[in-house]
Structure 1
Amino acid sequence: MGTSAVAGRTRSMGALFAGVALLNTATVGLSTAATLIVAAGSGPGWSGLPSVANVLGTAAGAFGTGVLLPGHGRRRVLAFGYCVAAAGALAALAGALTTSVVPLLLGMLLVGIGNGGAQLSRYLAADLYPEERRGRALANVVWAGTVGALAGPALMAPAAHVVSGFGWPSLSGPVAVAVLATALAALAAVFLPRQVPVPSAAAGARRPVWSGAVVRPLVAMVAAQLTMVAVMTMTPLQLQDHGHGLDVVAWVLSAHLIGMFALAPLSGRIADRWGPRVTINAGLGVLALSTATALAAPTAHTSGLPVALFLLGYGWNLVFVGGSAQLSRDLAPETRSRVQGTVDAVVWSASALAGLSSGQLFAGGGYALVAVVGGVLALLPLVLLVPRDGR
């Protein structure tokens, strides 16, 4: 690969990394604030609605991005998605200022559309590298979420303090941060090169669409997303119900989000060294352990819950990176983008069920019931995904 090609790849990786980091920062603060606003205004049974709106938007954004990428290019498609997210953040800010649920949910939906494009950025990064390095390449972009894991929760309390000085509701602070972050993401996408040479695919037959090489990661990623969303969404309410404020919520969510993203390069190396299936199975096991920890220590905000939420995040990361690595290797180039977008759309659509049901589970049986259901969902694919072809 020549000097100009290497420079183009480096520039692409930088822009993809920045977009993911900024969208994660926006989504973390916005989703937490929106959950608490809806819970205060409509009751905990409806507190999952913002998460549902966001994941449905992410599903639509992932599918649309996968369809549009081959014909319109990464710069144009990602920049458009991030502009949609910025408009959504503005709508959500209007909802937070007026405690109106409709613009808040609309904003969550539109930010999700931009997030769908950000999620597919990992595949764009993988396509820049030879097959044996794709796990690490996509994991490096997933690792960008570490910025959001640190910045999103850390900015919530200071942003709430700043906007309170203007006479705004304190929960509008994290939403204002989301407006700024999504606007910066749109700017970052402009710096993507128009064309970047992509290493040719390795020789050998590709699996047909919707073969086991697609179905296995799809089922595992759906289960991981369901478990992660259900437990994560209800944790702020569990903490709030036990008298903790935004500072404690931010600390526990930081542990979770660090687990989701900070160790992604390790997950990528595991996927490249031992294969996607081993990586996926390890992630499902860690998810089951995390729900057991949450069930055993549901009120330990300085020990049990941060550990449980960290494990919840890293179990999801292992499944996410392992499944994505398989999808980046085993599909023909002409169908890869569309199938990847479709898989992400299915995963995020399914997790909308977790966002909505988690509120109902919490209202009916508390945090313990949410943890038990999450653990069952995490273990189920280990039974369903018994390999039949040796992969």
Structure 2
Amino acid sequence: MTILQTPVRRSATSLFSGVAAMNTAMAGASTAGTLIAGATAGPAWSGVPGAFGVIGTALGTLGAGALMARRGSRPVLLGLYAAAVAGAIIAFGAAAGALLVVLLPGMVLLGLGNGGAQMSRYVAAELYPVERKGFGLSVIVWAGTVGAILGPGLMKPGGHVAELMGLPELAGPVLVAVVTTVIALAVTAGLPRVPPPPPRPRLSRPMVAAALRRPEVAGPLIAMVGAQVAMVSVMTMTPLQLEHHGHGLGVIGWILSAHMIGMFALAPLSGRIADRWGGRATIYLGIGTLLVAAATAFSAPTAHTSGLPLALFLLGYGWNLVLVGGSSLLSRDLPAAERTQLQGVVDAVVWLSSAVASLVAGSLYGLGGYSLVAVFGGVLALAPIAVVSRRS
């Protein structure tokens, strides 16, 4: 493996650490938000906090894509992570008082920071030569492994701290989010100061719309939308499913850990697959994995020691394969003049679609339970096959 030069290594380390901290924050805050909404407004509303979080993520990726092309990555990431700190503080206050209406804007601001974390993989890809871009961006996706372990793992201890403070147990995971967003902001300040990129013309809306219809953009976009919707719909309803069957934060936390390990831990393997066999092959493998995950969740909706952990792990890794495969195609196939802005637009569309998935999943759960949500996820994972197979 080629040893990265010191400035590049420093950039990669800062990006990795910021993403790890931000993923930890979102894991705890999103899960707590789902449970708070379910308890205060009913199951049909349980997906609303997650939807607001992903709306914030979509806005963050869209803004980051446009601004990074003109101002560089460091100031944009710092601004988005600062917004996340503010959002975590607001969400903590809302969780302490079980105020759903206050929790929602906090989740939007947290989502802005998560948008910066999502765009970090493209920033990292630019540090690597073209034949290793898949691996380069996958290393940043792999940073989510830290969040996979710490986020759910800190839910129970965070709940104990909140109770010691005289607050509801669910305020604890959001308190953890306050701390970790501050860490994300601090480590991102370690990114090297570099001159902004040369000015490039901003793509107009008609130009963006035309670009999204090109096969080299439409294929990765539709695949990533399908994987995101499938993953979010099943994952968002899993804590509620477990709670309804009498399980507490301990069980919820470790099953979500299995899911998030699937989402992130094997990302370097996905990157190697993308570099060796191409982004489309990686996407196809991811779609197959998502279908197996949905089938497992459908057939074992209450098996909290076997079927559900396996289903959630496979759900996470199927998503990872599609994300890395689609992102590698976008990093390699798009012209430099439009790459960053289009990457931001694609990520915004992906996250907006998952906001809809969070809302729809709550309604589906209320209508037909967890098994219906699993069927919905499987259908949405398979749908993009025809578009992905098109070539430019």
Q: TM-score category by the smaller chain?
A: over 0.9
2:284 to 254, 267, 281: 281
Question: For 2:329 and 2:134, how far apart are their aligned partners in 1?
Answer: 9
1:204 matched residue in structure 2: none
2:232 to 219, 229, 234: 229
CA contact (8 A) 1:8 1:196 kept: no
1:350 aligns with 2:349: no
Question: For 2:107 and 2:224, how far apart are their aligned partners in 1?
Answer: 22
CA-to-aligned-CA distance 1:220-271 (integer Å, 9 cap, x gap): 0000000000000000011011111100000110000000000000000000
1:238 to 241, 244, 267: 241
CA contact (8 A) 1:57 1:111 kept: yes
Secondary structure in structure 2 of the residue aligned to 1:111: helix
1:297 to 297, 300, 309: 300
Q: CA deviation at 1:11?
A: 0.4
2:366 to 363, 367, 383: 363
Instruction: Show the 5 A alignment for 1:7-22.
Output: 7-22=6-21
Question: For 1:93 and 1:315, how far apart are their aligned partners in 2?
Answer: 32
1:340 matched residue in structure 2: 343
2:91 matched residue in structure 1: 92
Aligned identity (percent) is: 57
Question: For 2:213 and 2:352, how far apart are their aligned partners in 1?
Answer: 18
Question: For 1:196 and 1:157, how far apart are their aligned partners in 2?
Answer: 44
Q: CA deviation at 1:102?
A: 1.6
1:29 aligns with 2:32: no
Question: For 2:108 and 2:389, how far apart are their aligned partners in 1?
Answer: 36
Question: Which stretch has the larger CA shift, 212-221 or 94-103?
Answer: 94-103
CA contact (8 A) 1:58 1:113 kept: yes
What is the RMSD computed on CA atoms of the aligned residues? 1.7
TM-score with structure 2 setting the length: 0.94
Q: CA deviation at 1:166?
A: 1.3
CA contact (8 A) 2:218 2:387 kept: no
1:158 matched residue in structure 2: 157
Instruction: Show the 5 A alignment for 1:208-227.
Output: 210-227=213-230
Secondary structure in structure 1 of the residue aligned to 2:383: helix
1:131 matched residue in structure 2: 130
1:73 matched residue in structure 2: 72
1:53 aligns with 2:52: yes
Question: For 1:371 and 1:208, how far apart are their aligned partners in 2?
Answer: 33
Question: For 1:240 and 1:196, how far apart are their aligned partners in 2?
Answer: 51
Q: Look up the equivalent residue of 2:314 and give its one-letter code.
A: L
2:115 matched residue in structure 1: 116
Which aligned segments of 4 or more residues in structure 1 are displaced greater than 3 angstroms?
207-210
1:308 to 302, 306, 311: 311
CA-to-aligned-CA distance 1:95-122 (integer Å, 9 cap, x gap): 0111111221111100001110110000
Question: For 2:57 and 2:230, how far apart are their aligned partners in 1?
Answer: 17
Question: For 1:376 and 1:242, how far apart are their aligned partners in 2?
Answer: 26
Q: Look up the equivalent residue of 1:143 and give its one-letter code.
A: W
1:261 to 253, 257, 264: 264
Question: For 1:316 and 1:76, how far apart are their aligned partners in 2?
Answer: 29
- Classify 1:364/1:209 alpha carbon distance in 2 versus 1 (closer, same or farther; 3 Å): closer
Q: CA deviation at 1:195?
A: 2.3
Q: CA deviation at 1:72?
A: 1.6
Q: CA deviation at 1:384?
A: 3.6
Q: CA deviation at 1:386?
A: 2.6
CA contact (8 A) 2:267 2:324 kept: yes
2:179 matched residue in structure 1: 180
Q: CA deviation at 1:387?
A: 3.0
Q: CA deviation at 1:331?
A: 0.9
Secondary structure in structure 1 of the residue aligned to 2:154: helix
Q: Which segments of 5 or more consecutive residues in structure 1 lack a partner in the other structure?
A: 199-206
Q: Look up the equivalent residue of 2:123 and give its one-letter code.
A: L
Q: CA deviation at 1:388?
A: 4.4
CA contact (8 A) 1:22 1:182 kept: yes
CA contact (8 A) 1:52 1:353 kept: yes
Instruction: Show the 5 A alignment for 1:196-211.
Output: 210-211=213-214
1:372 to 370, 375, 379: 375
CA contact (8 A) 1:298 1:368 kept: yes
Instruction: Report how many residues are paired.
Output: 379
Q: CA deviation at 1:385?
A: 2.7
2:325 matched residue in structure 1: 322
Question: For 1:185 and 1:72, how far apart are their aligned partners in 2?
Answer: 20
Question: For 1:94 and 1:102, how far apart are their aligned partners in 2?
Answer: 11
Question: For 2:25 and 2:4, how far apart are their aligned partners in 1?
Answer: 32
Q: Look up the equivalent residue of 1:114 and give its one-letter code.
A: G
Q: CA deviation at 1:208?
A: 6.4
Q: Look up the equivalent residue of 2:61 and give its one-letter code.
A: A
Secondary structure in structure 2 of the residue aligned to 1:192: coil
2:200 matched residue in structure 1: none
Q: Look up the equivalent residue of 2:40 and give its one-letter code.
A: G
